[in-house]
């Protein structure tokens, strides 16, 4: 079977750090083009824009959209209309409603639309889901704290409308939690802290309840210096299950169950290849809905200006 020929659109941090090496490490798919306004990659055909790629490279089967969320809907619509499979980086959109026409376009054209959640491919996630499937769930604490200056240098889009601010990493925690908990949950209260010079929050406190009433508290912070924390602690009837390092580690009552190097994107691309081969799509908007709910229900406070 011929490998799927894929083009990366937007050669920024995540494209270079994760997509390029993960494609190289995945059988059944090969990097054939880059669409970038500013950058090139040695040995890979370059286009300045996605439109040029779509017009001039009919052999490209799929595109991975690694651009900021504010510009991805138009790119995904153009790629699907041109008969290409589409991988969306997270979050899948700048609004929730923009996904419905994309899902419909994928169905009409018979192409794959994959709204990817990279954190769901972290090694501890499926073991945590299996562990929790038949346990009494008492409470959940999420602590997702990182330094925006370290992880998102120069990314002005992240504090623009649609950039999500601290929810850009925080939605990763929600993508894990919506995968591992046995029951749905919903927001009950939230407080979002907006720097006075920015359009997106720099910190957030969220309270949810699951459908049996178990409380879930999340603490997101974009100004964490020193140790960085990406942790979900689940209180079960038998003790605490802790998923840490963004999903690379899992322990129960202090005893390690999973302790691996973080590796998410090879599994993500293996899933994309499988979806394309099966003629299927995978679009779960639940984490984005929780974030939209936080912007809808959350109390807003104004905090000190943020400068890089």
**Set 13, 90, 111, 205: catalytic member:** 90
**Token pair of 128 as six digits:** 């945590």
Number of other CB atoms surrounding residue 34 within 10 Å: 21
Complex with ligand NAP: residue 16 or 129, whichever CB lies closer:
16
Identify which of 201, 175, 205 has the alpha carbon closest to the alpha carbon of residue 187.
205
Identify which of 228, 95, 241 has the alpha carbon closest to the alpha carbon of residue 180.
241
Peptide bond just before 109 cis, omega within 30 deg = no
Nearest distance, CB of residue 35 and ligand NAP, angstroms: 7
261 is annotated as an active-site residue: no
Nearest distance, CB of residue 138 and ligand NAP, angstroms: 31
Dihedral over alpha carbons 62, 24, 56, 103 (to 10 degrees): 10
Complex with ligand NAP: residue 12 or 123, whichever CB lies closer:
12
Nearest distance, CB of residue 88 and ligand NAP, angstroms: 9
Identify which of 197, 199, 23, 244 has the alpha carbon closest to the alpha carbon of residue 94.
199
Complex with ligand NAP: residue 8 or 140, whichever CB lies closer:
8
Q: Round to whole Å and give the CA distance between 99 and 167.
A: 19
Nearest distance, CB of residue 103 and ligand NAP, angstroms: 19
Instruction: Give the binding site for ligand NAP (CB under 6 A).
Output: 10-15, 36-39, 66-69, 71, 89-90, 118, 151, 155, 157, 168
Nearest distance, CB of residue 263 and ligand NAP, angstroms: 13
Pairing mode, strands 4-9 and 239-244: unpaired
Complex with ligand NAP: residue 199 or 302, whichever CB lies closer:
199
Identify which of 157, 158, 172, 135 has the alpha carbon closest to the alpha carbon of residue 268.
172
Nearest distance, CB of residue 203 and ligand NAP, angstroms: 18
At residue 119, the 3 state secondary structure works out as helix
Complex with ligand NAP: residue 53 or 234, whichever CB lies closer:
53
Complex with ligand NAP: residue 155 or 286, whichever CB lies closer:
155
CA distances 190 to 186, 194, 204, 300, Å, are 11, 13, 7, 9
Are 291 and 174 contacting, i.e. CB atoms less than 8 angstroms apart?
Answer: yes
Residues annotated as catalytic (active site), given as ranges:
90
């Amino acid at each position: 079977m011929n490998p799927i020929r894929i083009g990366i659109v937007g050669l920024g941090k995540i494209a270079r750090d994760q997509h390029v090496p993960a494609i190289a490490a995945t059988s059944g798919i090969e990097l054939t083009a880059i669409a970038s306004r500013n950058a090139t990659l040695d040995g890979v055909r370059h286009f300045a824009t996605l439109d040029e790629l779509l017009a001039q490279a009919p052999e490209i089967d799929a595109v991975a959209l690694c651009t900021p969320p504010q510009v991805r809907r138009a790119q995904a619509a153009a790629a699907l209309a041109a008969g290409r499979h589409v991988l969306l980086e997270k979050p899948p959109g700048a609004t929730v409603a923009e996904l419905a026409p994309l899902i419909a376009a994928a169905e009409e054209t018979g192409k794959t639309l994959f709204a990817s959640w990279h954190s769901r491919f972290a090694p501890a996630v499926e073991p945590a889901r299996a562990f929790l499937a038949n346990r009494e769930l008492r409470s959940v604490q999420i602590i997702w704290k990182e330094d925006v200056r370290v992880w998102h240098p120069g990314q002005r889009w992240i504090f623009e409308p649609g950039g999500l601010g601290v929810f850009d990493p925080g939605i990763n925690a929600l993508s894990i939690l919506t995968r591992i908990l046995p029951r749905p949950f919903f927001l009950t209260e939230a407080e979002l802290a907006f720097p006075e010079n920015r359009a997106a929050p720099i910190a957030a406190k969220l309270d949810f309840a699951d459908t049996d009433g178990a409380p879930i508290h999340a603490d997101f912070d974009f100004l964490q210096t020193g140790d960085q924390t990406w942790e979900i602690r689940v209180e079960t009837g038998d003790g605490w299950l802790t998923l840490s390092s963004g999903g690379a580690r899992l322990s129960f009552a202090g005893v390690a169950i999973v302790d691996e190097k973080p590796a998410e994107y090879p599994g993500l691309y293996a899933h994309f290849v499988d979806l394309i081969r099966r003629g299927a799509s995978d679009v779960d908007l639940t984490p984005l809905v929780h974030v939209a709910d936080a912007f809808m229900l959350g109390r807003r406070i104004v905090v000190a200006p943020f400068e890089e």
